Amino acid sequence: MRIDPRHATQRPWIALGGAAICFHAGSLVSTDPASLGHLVAGTGLAVLGGGLTGLWARRVGRRTHAGTGLGLWGLVLVVAGLVFVPAGADVARFVGGERTVLWTVSLLAAVTSLYLGFREYGAAHHTLGTESVVEGDL
């Protein structure tokens, strides 16, 4: 599958929305652990969601990436609170069940943070020491 780079750079949020849809569909499909086909399909959708999140991560800046990751983790806390509050369960049933919504948001937040970690690790310049640093001339 090849995505035209022109479309990806113009609308990077479509990739993140597609990832959320893949994660949610994967969590809906793989609710029956006894069925191998459902488990494989759910895993495939989760992998596709991870790839779409990676596409999004390459198209946005660091500040946007970090802010989105932080916002997604805040959303995880809100959704988890709704799952464990009896009144929130009525809202979550509308979109496929409270557990699948929690899995969707959690996977999206985790993969976004993972890509942010890789991005920051790749951007760090590791210098073990030059003569000026060793001698104290900063």
Q: Indicate whether this model's pTM tops 0.85.
A: no
Give the number of residues written for the chain: 138
Give me the mean pLDDT over the 14-35 stretch.
86
Handedness of CA 36, 38, 42, 48 (dihedral sign): positive
Contacts for 121-128 with beta carbons within 8 Å, 24 or more apart? 123/62
**pLDDT tens digits along 34-56:** 788 888 888 899 999 999 999 99
CA atoms within 13 A on the CB side of 92: 22
